[in-house]
Structure 1
Amino acid sequence: MFSRNKITLAILSACLVPSYAFATDLSTVEVTAVTENSQEVSSETSELLQSGNSETGTTLRQISGVDASRMGGHGVDLVIRGQQASQLNILIDGAKIEGGCPNRMDPPTAYAEMSSFDQVTVVKGVNSVTYGSGGTGGTVLFERNAPTFEEGKPYNGEINIGGTNNGLTRDMNATISAGGDQGYIVLQGSKKSADNYTDGNGDEVRSSYESQQGHVDLGWTPNEDHELRLSYENTRTDDALFEDAKMDAPLSDGTTARLRYRGSNISENIQNIEMDIYNSDVDHVMDNYSFRPATPVGMQRETITDVQTKGAKIKLTSMVGHTQLDYGLQFESIEKMATFYNANSDTALFEMWPDVNSETRSAFIESTSFFKDNQKVILGLRYDNVTTEAKNANTASEAGNIPTNLYTSTYSSSYNGETKSDESNINALLRYERTYQDNLNVFASLSRTHRYPDATELYIAKGGSGAWVGNPNLKPEQHNQFDLGVSQNLKASNWTVSAFYDSVNDYVLKDLSQNQDSITPTGRTVYLNKDATIVGLEFSGDMKATSNVTLGGNASLTRGTNETDNRNLTGMSPFNGNVYAEYATSSWNTGARFNFAMAQEEVNSEFNEDETAAWSAVDVFAGYQVNKNVKLTAGVDNLFDHAYFTHVNRYDPTQGDIYKVYEPGRIVWAKLNAKF
């Protein structure tokens, strides 16, 4: 029986065997978005990957309104509209996978190898009730398309090989597909190796890792109206080092099995059916000694976690007059277990996730009514019932620590002893869209969406020094959002502008216990419900200055306020973005990109959040069609080797000396792309 990593390597090896003639089209370096409005951006992954860093969270920073928090070189964690973690819905080819690290060394995007997908769609905020429960900050859809084949050629293939000097990254990805009218098979594999990189100060940043990923798709397409796809995917990261953490991750291993069906023209009453069933498993190990020889033997600690995510969704589409109805049912189950050990004695100190199970049962219906004068009205309703239980909350660890004792000592004035919750809520969406002359599009949207606290916010149970304690009595967040946007798509230019206002009842605030009068112990990280407001602006656009020259850019700004305590919220991105210029012909292109962020002075100083200085960095890039068969791209990121970090990069508020992880210094990179 092959191990998971051997299966991944076997897939990669199989993909690299052919040596047919290569052929590919030269694609532009910058993101070319296909967008219906200024709230949703779809990008081909090949365009997002034209830079020196192919890590998924890092590449998505190119999209206006999207930021990401760096803790090391891998698992850069998305932030959209000032929200992150379970405030975002991450769907990986129709499935969900939950990371195994309570400290988010491995967010869901760590199991979404960017090069293995065809397209990524980022929805900022809420524009539909059909994606899933929550998603108050946004939804990210990683999608793979069914392969298509030319007449007389029942196979396709692609190989990508790349590398950088800073961190000495080696990156390889290959895909082979074969099939015909009745079905197909896709084999894909990737492998990455990265050393610690050097920042602009010349300091080495702990960021190295080894990763490998592979997936198999088996598709049955009896005719053009039906597709049934069975897939299996494994993503494994070994020996990942993290600059801003007390531990590193020797292992993060995730597998996902999916079954999906897409059907159209089903009957007179049902036009389309979409069905997704999935099961994901993650094993994660982190410790403070495998790569840190200075750790005293008596202080060696290890956390072992196991996470399983299951889900099913069916969505049907019907037309009633001029109204399209999308309706369906959805189920999701997440089980998380994490144990914190004294590695020297192999004693379980704390059940950090005390066998936490959450289940979500949902029903949704959304109508899209089309009117004259290119007007569209969307009405959506979603019912969610969410139950949670910490099954081992009253069970003592080997060291005698009981999670409920931690909850009681931390929230003594409010904790009612419960280890279960049962919440049901209605979510609603009202949206208006209209297209005027010259393809000018406007939209306005009102939504009321609930985001349920996750396993960490509810039940995390780590005592001792730097105690970290969940609050089982948390209420779900209620987001009341107003979105307004204008966009225009012309032959020579495209632009979008949007603004949002989000009034949040029962916002889940992560705080230090000494900041809250209701909590007596000091030095603990805690969670409480507060009222909050999040507002922001987003802009993006591009224009053809000449037939060969394209100019463009994007920018965004987010502000967040804890209204209850009259404080700033943590992790709000300042005004930031980029501007670029590109010259392209039929055989080559070259360009430059200026990335920037203004200073962030509106910080949560009570949570030990420091201000961040303004920064800028310049990237240059070029691509050349060597011949009909081979395309080369190369460039330099952070050309002037500036030392900087983004405001949302990770730091530990419990430590006296706050340090944020610096971004890489100058990176020289090159890539080869070939299709056959």
Structure 2
Amino acid sequence: MYRLKYSPFAAVLAAIAVPLHAAEAPSSLEQVVVTAPTMADPPTVVTDPKAPRQPIPAHDGADFLKSIAGFSVIRKGGTDGDPLLRGMSGSRLGILLDGQEIYGGCGGRMDPPTAYVYPESYDRVTVLKGPQSVIYGAGFSAGAVMFERDLKPLVEPDWALDGSLTVGSFGRNDQVVDARGGTPAFQVRAGASRAHADDYEDGDGTKIHSRYTRWSTQAAVAWTPDTDTALELSMAHSDGEAAYADRGMDGSRFSRDNLALMFERRELSPLVEKLWAQAYYNYVDHVMDNYSLRDQPLANRFSAMNPDRITTGARIGVVLAPGEAWRVTLGADAKEDIHRGRSAMNRASGDAAEDYFESLPYEEDMRFRQFGVFGEVAYRDAGGGRTVAGLRIDEHAAKDGRRCVAGMFMNGMCMMVPANQTRGETDRATLTSGFMRYEGVLGDTTWYAGLGHAERFPDYWERLLRDEDTLNSAFLSIKPEKTTQFDLGANWTSGAWSGSLSGYIGKVQDYILLTWIAPSRVRNVDATVVGLEADSVWRFARNWRATGTLAWVRGENYTDDKPLAQQPPLEARLALEYDDGTFSYGGLLRMVADQHRVDVGSGNIVMNGQDIGRSPGFAVFSVNAGWRPRKGLLVTAGIDNLFDRTYAEHLSRTGVSLPGFVFPADTRINEPGRNLWLKARLALD
């Protein structure tokens, strides 16, 4: 039976993931984050992934992001949910790890990109909302999320160590360590994390098939000959396993290997402010099976599938300062993405299934190539306002290597699906994206208005399904998606009050919509999206503050005169917090409205990620407390879902019938009941 395996590459990284000297210690330990941080610069949100959060997230990127207004998650159980920003999921939302794009391997989105993200191993998470930049990648119509690590020059030898330990209900047990240090000429950074949770129970005490174990190691060495130059080589390995309540298989391998080289040079001349270049390699090796994490499979038929994905890419850019008020960014990026797979179905045992698929060569089913050039110009006027505009042009190509359409090739034939008529064909497109935004200052208010356009090449999952009309391959018939969106917002401060408000309205031509009523198929429709996000902070007394956030989105499928499928309901959060520097206390009330705007059977690229009907609203109350006994030490504790409510998110997947579990197979998967947790974080320098 397959279990977690440690490759030689992993062993090397694990050996060096020990406390080392660090470049810069954290300046402070933050209080518990219970609502989204306010917008930093329009339209950007920046937050610290090491800070404790409530409700406590699973140790992955999607559950971390759901604390930010505008994000929601398609839940499948304990971990590895699929994130949405403003109701948009999949490749509409860019996920970048230190500037690198990463994709999952599973055809059913068991492992979205955020499944390979370990948030606490990063120093900063930056969210750019809407099509308001062209620097970070192609087709990001919803926005982009950057998980980033710092590399700063040292003027003298220095070190730092940051670590945390988390325990909680349902067997929760996490450990994270991050160490860095060096001299003015050389720096080293290494870290490791491990997270585990057992099956959780909902508010009624019903056990949900949801346990997981995840671990990661990463290391980097940098040469910094002076304060303006850096050359860094980094590598990482991670793996894990996760049980899912929404499908007939679990994930028994989530292996990722990464290697990256980055160069940066600042202040080359009065004109050239910064020059940077990066090359990277990401390999994802994923295994799903029906025997490693669950009881005896149905009819004793042991099956496993092993997709993998190889992504290589490079980026280069320069920032120019032709005048004091001007900044010009020019650059190019390219990547190649290869998806392959192999499988073993209906074997006599788990060992037999593993031995069989590992004896097979991988077979390539799709290959993608992209090359793009981009430029952004920013101008700051005498009144403090700023105008930003950008344009990018991308050449895309996708080659179809599948033998079958939306199915499996076994024993020399396609199983209950047609043979693929587009096998060997290549789809090509030249796509253009751009934006223009003005940021103004009026007293203590910063406001912005931007118009953006993003053209998105159909991704792997959208090309897998059948054409709506022919019921054969949609690989060549599906059109690129084109989003034009207007964003308007403001950040403001007035005495004890501060906050932000943003709204958007977008027209999506050729929106790619999936239908999961058999036979599953894909087509283009025209859609409109409109939404609103707001947050406010009131510091009404010394050491006290009240915080609130609101997120609302409404999508319309104009082709069918229906609501756009898989849209999150209205959500609001209210928090009351006390913090005197030594002790802190807080409470969070999360309120979610009912959702009656649905299109049953339609949805997104998550396997069977479809509307199943209306959902009721709910409210959940949580509390937390913190203690800073000394500098560099923070202990926090909390109770999520204090009143043990039984509820499910509107976007949660439906469960499946599993041996040993009584959860109904035709209803949404419920969230955890009352959850107690304790976290200690130590920062040394």
Task: Tell me whether the two structures share a fold, i.e. TM-score over 0.5.
Answer: yes
Quick one: distance in 2 between partners of 1:51 and 1:24? 24
The alignment status of 1:580 with 2:580, answered yes or no, reads no
Query: Residue in 1 aligned with 2:397?
Result: 387
Determine which of 354, 371, 383 is the counterpart of 2:381: 371
Q: Does 1:661 align with 2:669?
A: yes
1:150-207 deviation digits (Å, cap 9, x = unpaired): 96x6321122111102x21110011121202112101100111111111112111111
Q: Which residue of 2 aligns with 1:672?
A: 680
Task: Provide the rounded CA distance (Å) in 1 between the counterparts of 2:617 and 2:373.
Answer: 46
Are 1:195 and 2:198 an aligned pair? Answer: yes
Equivalent residue, structure 2, for 1:566: 561
The residue that corresponds to 1:113 in the other structure is 118
Q: State the shift of 1:456 in Å.
A: 1.7
The C-alpha deviation readout for 1:577-629, integer Å capped at 9, x for no partner, is 31111101121111111111000111112445221110111111111012345
Q: Deviation of residue 305 (structure 1)? A: 0.5
Partner of 1:546: 541
Using the TM superposition, give the Cα deviation of residue 11 of structure 1 relative to its aligned residue in structure 2, in angstroms: 4.3
- Equivalent in 253, 256, 261 of residue 255 of structure 2: 253
- Offset of 1:459 from its aligned partner? 3.2
AA in 2 matched with 1:619: S
* 1:505-548 deviation digits (Å, cap 9, x = unpaired): 111100146xxxxxxxxx21111111111111111121211121
What amino acid sits opposite 2:248 in the alignment? K
Equivalent of residue 279 in structure 2, options 277, 280, 286: 277
Where 2:344 maps in the other structure, the secondary structure is strand
SS at match of 1:86: helix
Match of 2:108 in 1: 103
Greater alpha carbon shift after TM alignment, 387-396 vs 258-267: 387-396
Q: Deviations over 1:321-377 (max 9, x none)?
A: 3321111111011111133431417688x9998521101110111111221222222
Q: How does 1:420-569 map to 2 (within 5 A)?
A: 420-438=426-444, 440-459=445-464, 471-489=475-493, 492-512=496-516, 523-569=518-564
Aligned to 2:163: 159
Q: What is the rounded CA distance, in whole Å, between the counterparts of 2:675 and 2:655 in structure 1?
A: 27
Identity of paired residues, percent? 26
CA distance in 1, matches of 2:655, 2:465: 17
Q: Give the Cα separation in 2 of the matches to 1:217 and 1:432.
A: 38
Structure 1 stretches of 5 or more lacking a match? 409-414, 514-522
SS in 2 for 1:109: helix
Counterpart secondary structure, 2:114 = helix
Residue 608 of structure 2 aligns with which residue? none
Partner of 1:516: none
Give the partner amino acid of 1:486. A
Greater shift in the superposed pair: 587-596 or 49-58: 49-58
Query: Residue 589 in 1 paired to residue 593 in 2?
Result: no
Higher mean Cα deviation, 65-74 or 600-609? 600-609
CA distance 1:479–1:403, shift in 2 (3 Å) = farther
**CA shift in 2, pair 1:2/1:358, >3 Å:** closer
Establish whether residue 332 from structure 1 lines up as the match of residue 335 from structure 2: yes
Equivalent residues in 2 for 1:4-83 (5 A)? Answer: 4-12=9-17, 14-15=18-19, 25-30=28-33, 33=37, 35-47=39-51, 49=53, 51-55=55-59, 56-83=61-88
CA distance in 1, matches of 2:36, 2:433: 33
1:468–1:79: structure 2 CA closer, same or farther, 3 Å change rule? farther
Q: Is the 8 A contact 1:598 1:613 kept in 2?
A: yes
Q: Equivalents in 1 of 2:111, 2:330: separation in Å?
A: 33
Structure 1: distance between partners of 2:472 and 2:677:
41
| Alignment partner of 1:643 out of 639, 643, 646 | 646
Is 1:419 paired with 2:425? Answer: yes
Task: Report the 3-state secondary structure (helix = DSSP H, G, I; strand = E; otherwise coil) of the residue aligned with 2:347.
Answer: coil
Distance 1:470 1:645, change over 3 A: farther
Aligned CA distance change for structure 1 residues 421 and 543 (closer, same or farther; 3 Å): same
| Deviation of the 1:273 alpha carbon | 1.4
Matching of residues 613-652 of structure 1 within 5 Å? 613-628=616-631, 630-651=633-654
Contact persistence 1:232–1:256 (CA under 8 A)? yes
In structure 2, how many angstroms separate the alpha carbons of the residues matched to 1:383 and 1:48? 40
Matching residue's letter, 2:367: N
Q: Which residue of 1 aligns with 2:411?
A: 399
Once residues 26 and 398 of structure 2 are traced to their aligned partners in structure 1, the CA distance between those partners, rounded to angstroms, is 52
Q: 2:655·2:669 contact (CA, 8 Å) conserved in 1?
A: no
1:492 counterpart letter in structure 2: A
The letter of the residue matching 1:382 is: R
Task: State the alpha-carbon separation in 2 of the partners of residues 392 and 282 from structure 1.
Answer: 19
Please, what TM-score do these two structures have when normalized by structure 2? 0.88
1-structure distance, mates of 2:547, 2:114? 27
Contact 2:54 2:622 in 1 (8 A): no
Cross-structure match for 1:316: 318
1:220–1:23 Cα change, 3 Å: closer
Question: What is the total number of aligned residue pairs between the two structures?
Answer: 647
**Structure-1 residue corresponding to 2:179:** 176
Whole-Å Cα distance in 2 between the matches of residues 95 and 479 of structure 1? 23
In the alignment, is the contact (CA less than 8 A) between 1:90 and 1:141 conserved in 2? Answer: yes
> 1:357 and 2:361 equivalent?
no
SS at match of 1:456: helix
State the secondary structure of the residue aligned to 1:110: helix
Distance 1:432 1:54, change over 3 A: same
Instruction: Supply the AA of the counterpart residue of 2:577.
Output: E
Change (3 A) 1:582 1:352: farther
Partner amino acid for 2:291? Y
1:395-449 alpha-carbon deviations (Å, 9 max, x no partner)? 99442235997376xxxxxx877731000022121111111112x1111111111
SS in 1 for 2:413: coil
Give the direction of change, closer, same or farther, for the CA distance of 1:644–1:468 in structure 2 (3 Å limit): farther
**Would the aligned equivalents of 1:158 and 1:175 in 2 still touch at CA under 8 Å?**
yes
The structure-2 alpha-carbon separation of the partners of 1:2 and 1:147, relative to structure 1 and needing over 3 Å to count, comes to farther
Q: CA deviation at 1:59?
A: 2.2
**Using the alignment, how far apart are the partners of 2:495 and 2:448 within structure 1?**
21
Deviation (angstroms), 1:469: 6.8
Aligned position for 1:210: 213
Answer whether contact 2:29 2:632 (CA < 8 A) is retained.
no
In 1, the alpha carbon distance for the partners of 2:226 and 2:126 equals 27
Q: Can you list the C-alpha shifts for 1:242-281, whole angstroms capped at 9, x where unaligned?
A: 0111210111101111111222111233211122211000
Which SS does the other structure have where 2:115 is aligned?
helix
Is the 2:116–2:256 contact (alpha carbons within 8 Å) kept by the matching residues of 1? yes
Question: What's the offset of the Cα at 1:10?
Answer: 3.0
Q: CA deviation at 1:107?
A: 1.2
Secondary structure of residue in 1 paired with 2:272:
coil
Q: Tell me the SS of whatever aligns to 2:645.
A: coil
How far apart, CA to CA, are the structure 2 residues paired with 1:351 and 1:666?
Answer: 47
The 1-side partners of 2:121 and 2:76 are apart by 23
Contact 2:465 2:520 in 1 (8 A): no
Residue type of the alignment partner of 1:477: E
2:656 and 2:243 map into 1 onto residues whose CA distance is 20
Counterparts in 2 of 1:211 and 1:258: CA distance versus 1, 3 Å: same
Cα distance in structure 2, aligned partners of 1:542 and 1:508: 38
For residues 446-482 of structure 1, the C-alpha deviation after alignment (integer angstroms, 9 at most, x for no partner) is 11111111112113589xxxx9975442111000111
Q: 2 CA distance for matches of 1:228 and 1:6?
A: 25
Letter in 1 for 2:295: P
**Structure 1 residues 397 and 407: CA distance shift in structure 2, 3 A:** closer
Instruction: Classify 1:38/1:493 alpha carbon distance in 2 versus 1 (closer, same or farther; 3 Å).
Output: farther
Query: Which residues of 2 match residues 211-226 of structure 1 at below 5 A?
Result: 211-226=214-229
Q: Which amino acid aligns with 2:428?
A: D
- Note closer, same or farther for the CA distance 1:352–1:535 as it changes in structure 2 (3 Å cut): farther
